[in-house]
Structure 1
Amino acid sequence: MLKAIFTSLTLLFALSSFSAHAQMADRLSEHPTFNSGAKHKKGGDDAVAMTREMTNRLHLNEGQFLNLLPLNRTKLVGLKSINREYRNDGATRAAKIAELEAQYEQECSRILTPSQLSQLQSEQPGSTPTGSGNGLG
């Protein structure tokens, strides 16, 4: 009985430690100046620039910025990976990019207000805002 309790406590402590480490890594990745590895990653710089530009266009608050930053990093890494992996297959590449964009838009809908999301959709090349019609009727 004592051995089972000790094992359970050890497992709980280990899981807590891993969770705390992962949270700290996420927090540090949001601040490239504190993460020496992130300084050298062009994708991280691109994601910060992209999120800052979105902040200016969509008038994001700080919480939205912090939630969109890792999402934008993931999107950019995904685009780079798709473009590299499917560079010789345009149809598959387009389908994979469309899938990535749909996932990105779904995640954005959890972070942005409906008006911010509508503005983002209307500014994306080749996309149409949700809803039909031209807004005149």
Structure 2
Amino acid sequence: MADRLSEHPSFGKAVTKDAEAITREMANRLRLNEGQVLRLLPINRTKLVGLNSINREYKNDETTRAAKAAELEAQYEQECSRILTPSQLSQLQQSNSQPAQAPANSGNGLG
């Protein structure tokens, strides 16, 4: 169903562009081969559509939204484990567990 959503005009182009960017970044970081890239692209697209849907459907329920996002992430990692080598999967999990770094001039008022 998520793949059908990704074909919807309101999702299609933006989600596909984002999924391509994510897959490209993964290809560079994890040194993916062409077959892996081709198999990961629809998985990344499905994940983005799922996240969009979760964020929209549960926008007023932080607890449920977080639980659904965690469930989606677990499914995503399971799909990735079928495509990536153990070493690549480990690198992916390490990079996903690191907090996103704030830009140098984030203006957070700390110094």
**TM-score, scaled relative to structure 2:** 0.77
In the alignment, structure 1 residue 117 sits paired with structure 2 residue 89: yes
In the alignment, structure 1 residue 71 sits paired with structure 2 residue 43: yes
In the alignment, structure 1 residue 45 sits paired with structure 2 residue 17: yes
| RMSD of aligned residue pairs (Cα, Å) | 1.8
| Structure 2 unaligned regions, length at least 5 | 4-8, 100-111
Which of the pair has more CA radius of gyration?
1
Report the AA paired with residue 60 of structure 1.
Answer: L
Residue in 2 aligned with 1:60? 32
Report the AA paired with residue 65 of structure 2.
Answer: R
CA separation in 1, counterparts of 2:22 and 2:69? Answer: 18
Matches within 5 A, 1:1-137: 41-125=13-97
How big is each residue's C-alpha offset from its partner over 1:22-81, in whole Å with a ceiling of 9 and x where there is no partner?
xxxx9xxxxxxxxxx7xx610000000000000000000000000000000000000000
Deviation at 1:126, TM superposition (A): 5.7
Report the AA paired with residue 85 of structure 2.
Answer: T
Report the AA paired with residue 63 of structure 1.
Answer: G
* SS of equivalent to 2:80: helix
Q: Which has the higher contact order (CA 8 A, sep 6+)?
A: 2
CA separation in 2, counterparts of 1:125 and 1:85? Answer: 25
CA separation in 2, counterparts of 1:41 and 1:86? Answer: 23
More helix per residue:
1
Identity, % of aligned positions:
73
| Structure 1 unaligned regions, length at least 5 | 1-25, 27-36, 128-137
Residue in 2 aligned with 1:13? none
